[in-house]
A = this chain, B = another copy of it.
Amino acid sequence: MSSTTPPAPRKRLSLSREKVLECALDLADESGIAALTIRSLAQSMGTKPMSLYYYVANKDEILDGIVDLVFSDIELPSPAGDWRDEMHRRAHAMRAALKRHPWAVGLLESRTSPGAATLRHHDATLGTLRAAGFSVPMTAHAYALLDSYIYGFALQEAALPFEGRDTAAEITAPIMERFSGGEYPYMVEIAVEHVLKPGYDFGDEFDFGLNLILDGLSRSIPRSNA
């Protein structure tokens, strides 16, 4: 208490690799992946850019890390449960996660070094399919099919200029009018008679395709229930 009080009660160890990744994920959610820069991240954490490099090697590691965080949010399917229920739940959980974090879809293309949560997720899904009686090659087919559909749906959802129920009309209606001349008649038809109808939500299309796929897959199990 003699001289000056320490200029600020500087909390040491306020940073950690986990906190950096969590903040990065939050920042990407709030402001978009483009706004996630080392500088903005540091500022949001109340520190300086170069401090982050004590916990991560470079920005790519941050991107890998937050993609893995997204996967860690998804409940693992269980080989013990009914495979169809498990796959249905998993598909919806993944779609929800990719909707919460739309930037993750775009990141998947460039990230080729999956994290632990990602690997666990893949392994649990493969295990559930194998336990359901799918052969090894059929499991590969089913997994490629399911994930393609889920990722692709999320990709399209992320690309939509509108979001959620009834919001399509406000945005696309003026655009559609420009097309009413007749250059794109089928798009106009779909828009007017389907998309612009009250209560429409692109997300509702998800279940149709998912059930169609699961129906088709259930016919590919050799043993027992066909």
CB-defined contacts of A158 to chain B, threshold 8 Å: 109
Check B140–A209 contact: CB distance below 8 A.
no
Is the CB–CB distance between B144 and A205 below 8 Å? yes
User: Are B208 and A141 in contact, CB atoms less than 8 angstroms apart?
Assistant: yes
Q: Is the CB of A144 within 8 A of B209?
A: yes
> Which of A144, A184, A195 is packed against the most chain B CB atoms within 10 Å?
A144
Chain B neighbourhood of A189, CB < 8 A: 126, 130, 136
User: Which residues on B sit within 8 Å (CB–CB) of A109?
Assistant: 102, 105-106, 155, 158-159
Chain B residues in 8 Å Cβ range of A143: 190
Q: How far is the CB of A141 from chain B (nearest CB, A)?
A: 4
**A156 in contact with B147 given A139-B190, A184-B123, A187-B123 (CB within 8 Å):** yes
Knowing A119-B184, A152-B147, A152-B149, say if A140 contacts B212 (CB, 8 Å): no
Contact of A136 (CB < 8 Å), options: B136, B151, B190: B190
Cβ of A193 under 8 Å from chain B: yes
Quick check: is A202 within 8 A (CB to CB) of the other chain? yes
Give the bracket for the number of chain A residues in contact with chain B.
35 or more
Whether A42 is near chain B, meaning CB under 8 Å from some CB there, is no
- How many angstroms between the C-alpha atoms of A205 and B148 in the bound complex? 11
* Interface residue? A110 (CB, 8 A): yes
Q: Are B111 and A159 in contact (CB under 8 A)?
A: yes
The 5 A-B pairs with the shortest beta carbon distances in the complex, nearest first, are A152-B152, A148-B152, A145-B209, A126-B186, A151-B152
Which A residues have a C-beta under 8 Å from some C-beta of B?
102, 105-106, 108-112, 119-120, 122-124, 126-127, 130, 136-137, 139-141, 143-145, 147-153, 155-156, 158-161, 183-187, 189-190, 193-195, 202, 205, 208-209, 212-213, 215-217
